[in-house]
Structures are given as structure tokens and as C-alpha cells.
Amino acid sequence: MSQSTEPLAPPPGARRRLGRVGLMLMLGALTSFGPLSIDMYLPALPRLGAVYGVDAAAVQLTLATFFLGYSLGQTLWGPITDRYGRKPPLYFSLILFAVASAGCALAPSVEILACWRLLQALGVAAGVVISRAMVRDLFPPSEMAHVFSTLMMVIGVAPILAPLLGGYLLGWFDWQAIFWLLTGLGLLCLLAVTLRLDETHRPAVKPSLRLGVILRSYGSLLADRQYLGFALCGGLSLGGMFAYIAGSPFVLIELKGVPAEAYGWIFGANALGFVAASQMNRRLLKRHGSLALIHDSTLAQALAGLALLAASAFDGGLWSLLPPLFVYVTCIGFILPNTSALAMGPQGHRAGIAAALLGTLQFAMAAVAALSVGALQDGTALPMGIVVAAGSCGAFLMRRFLVGLPRRG
């Protein structure tokens, strides 16, 4: 099967009904449920340990199960959305997300909470797959890095506001309020999708949902060196960030004595760097290719990861950890839009499956990173430093050996 480099023709009016700004906001909102569901309850992790009477590793299991469901769920939604269109799977997934979020608020034990988090992640997974697939439906490959950078600005607001909001909800009410808010947001988004979002994919020939056919489609993508290289580069970089997400509440709040509200400001400042980088990326694309930007940002990120590892190993103070964390997260604003665009660009005929595998690889690495931080837990910042450095150096190596060097000048 040949690879399409042009977008599949969307139904008339698919971009006109919302307009470009409205479309970006809607797609960004769908993708933001992932970071909202992760980041909003980060300030509550130490509180959950006290409520349930468990240690940090047990609480971090609720993060790892979310990453696992987020990763595996995307493999399910990809073939489904290629066959049935974008909107019907969104309806089901948003209902699942709202119900699971309510279940999290009512969970009587950390084990039940982890199970509800798995179901919550399965609902969230559809948003990231379908938003990427809709970008591929509506825009040519030449515009995709620019569009993904715009989406990163919308998505980046969630990590800025979520931990701040979570910290204040924790102080004003208790941790359950975080999940009740997510329940309400899921239902509100369901209403918006029903009333305002148009279908963008009505395939002339519906792909088969037979397991063998699906596995062969995924296998052909894994055999594509360029697709795999960009997916792993972005995934390893993202894995390091989720090691920071899993480890930083305990490192900063418990070890370094940062108040929960102040932790939200630190987390938001790093997310602001990510948003700023994604917008700089839009401008730099006019002068530099995506591959050159990936090369420079993975190198800078690897150096930041190694600096964080050194600060963790020698038990430096708070200010030895914050600058490399900021640089690391900021670099993701360059890495993710460009790796996503270069991976998805040639996949017009199978955008759903390509988006699903991209997300699965990325968040499988996130789950491994979060589990690794918990497994290595020794009461210091070193586990976080080790996993963050491994992710950044791995991304640099994937870019170097699977994708290659950019052409300059």
C-alpha cells in the first residue's frame, strides 16, 4: 500500500464550522485531558499516601497504571477511529472518562484508585489519538509541524494551571475535589463535541478490525525506520518528563520542603517554558527544518539530563535541580511537535493507527519511567535523576542512529 502525502478530503465545512482558532481549541482540549488527569492531582500524592496508609511507591502506582492505560488504550482507539470515524469513539470515551473520574473520587483504597485510573486513562486515550488523526485529516504534511506547535500552546496551558488548581483544591477541600472537577470537565467536553465538532473522516473503504489485519498494519509501521525513529525519539524524551512528573512531588515537597501550593508554581513555570518553546518552534521552522530543530533540542536536553543526574547524585540543594529540569521540559516544546509531524506526515491513509502507535510508544515509555522511579525509590532525588538522564540520552541516540543528522545550510 502506498503512503499518502496529502490529507484525506474531509467533509465540507469540517474546518469552517469552528474556524481554525476554534478547531485548535477543541483539539487542544481533547488532548489536554491527559495532562489534566496527571498534573492536577500531583500535589495530592503525598496526601494520598497518608490517607491510604501506603508508601510513595504504592501511590506512584496510580500514575503508572494511568500511563499503562493511556498507552494501551491508544492501540485500541486507532483502528476503531479509522473504521467508524472520529466522533462516535469520542462520545464513548468521554462518557468513560467522566464515570471513571467519579470512581476515582469514591475509591476506598489505593488499589481501587489505581483500577479507576486505568479506566480513566482508557477514556483519555481516545482524545490524543483522534486529535492527531484529525490534524492529519485536515492539513497537508507541510503544515503539520506548525499546527502541532499551535496545539502545544493550548495543551501547555494544562500543565501550567493543573497543579496550581490541584494544590488549591487540596487546601480548600480535599483530594476528591480534583476528581469531581475532572468529571465535570469530561461531561462539558462531551456536550461541546456533540454540538460543535464536525466529523472529519468518512472512509470510502472501512478498514478491517480483524486482529491479524490490525497487527500487520502496526507491524508495517514498526518496520518503517523513519517513523520508528521519530516515535522513539519523542517517546524517550517524554518518558524522562514523566519520570520528573512521578518523582518531583516527593523530591520537591517532601525532600526539599516545598509547600504544595509553591510546587504548583514551580511545575507551572516549567510548563510555561514548554509552551514558549513550542511557539518559538513555529517561528524557527521558517528558517530551519524540523530535523535540525530536533537535533539541537535533543542535544540540549541530554546535557540538561546529565546535569540533573549530577545534582541528584551529589545531593545538591533545590536550586541545583530546578534549572536542568526547566531546560529539560522546555526542550520538549521543540521535540514533540517536530517528531509528531515527521512521523505522521506520510501516513494519511492510516492516520488513526499511526497516531495510536505513536502515542502507545510514547506512553509505554512514560509508564516504564514512572515505574522505574518508584522501583528505584531510595529516599533521595537520585532515582528521578537517573531516569530523566536515561530518557534524554536515549532520545539523543535514537535521533542520531535511527533518524540521522540534519542537512545544514
Per residue in 59-98, pLDDT tens? 878 877 887 888 788 888 877 877 777 788 889 999 999 9
23 falls in which pLDDT band (50, 70, 90)?
A: confident
Q: How far is CA 80 from CA 68, 88, 122, in A?
A: 19, 9, 13
Give the span between the Cα atoms of 402 and 394, in whole angstroms.
11
Give the span between the Cα atoms of 292 and 150, in whole angstroms.
19
CATH number at 19-201+208-403: 1.20.1250.20
Q: How far is CA 255 from CA 11, 94, 175, 308, 318, in A?
A: 54, 37, 21, 16, 9
Quote the Cα angle for 190-105-374, to 5°: 105
Give the span between the Cα atoms of 243 and 375, in whole angstroms.
12
- The reported pLDDT for the residue numbered 7 is 44
The size of the chain, in residues, is 409
- The reported pLDDT for the residue numbered 304 is 94
Per residue in 379-388, pLDDT tens? 788 889 999 9
Which span out of 10-14, 41-45, 213-217, 388-392 was modeled with the highest average pLDDT? 388-392
- DSSP letter, residue 205: S
Show the cell assigned to 176: 476528591
- The reported pLDDT for the residue numbered 10 is 47
Residue pair 328/241 in contact by the 8 Å Cβ criterion: yes
Nearest in space to 327 (alpha carbons), one of 364, 301, 350: 301
- The reported pLDDT for the residue numbered 207 is 64
Give the span between the Cα atoms of 353 and 330, in whole angstroms.
28
11 falls in which pLDDT band (50, 70, 90)?
A: very low
Give the span between the Cα atoms of 349 and 378, in whole angstroms.
48
Nearest in space to 17 (alpha carbons), one of 119, 134, 105: 134
- Cα dihedral value 296, 161, 38, 315, nearest 10: 60
For residue 286, give the amino acid letter: K
Show the cell assigned to 84: 467508524
Residue pair 43/91 in contact by the 8 Å Cβ criterion: no
Helix (H, G, I), strand (E, B) or coil at 4: coil
Q: How many CA atoms lie within 13 A of 332 on its CB side?
A: 30
Average pLDDT, the chain: 80
User: The cell 483502528 sits on which residue?
Assistant: 79
Per residue in 319-346, pLDDT tens? 888 999 999 999 988 888 888 888 877 6
Domain boundaries, the chain: 19-201+208-403
Could you tell me which residues come within 8 angstroms of residue 239 by beta carbon, excluding any fewer than 6 positions away? 362, 365, 366, 368, 369, 387, 391, 394
Could you tell me which residues come within 8 angstroms of residue 173 by beta carbon, excluding any fewer than 6 positions away? none
Give the span between the Cα atoms of 207 and 210, in whole angstroms.
9
390 falls in which pLDDT band (50, 70, 90)?
A: very high
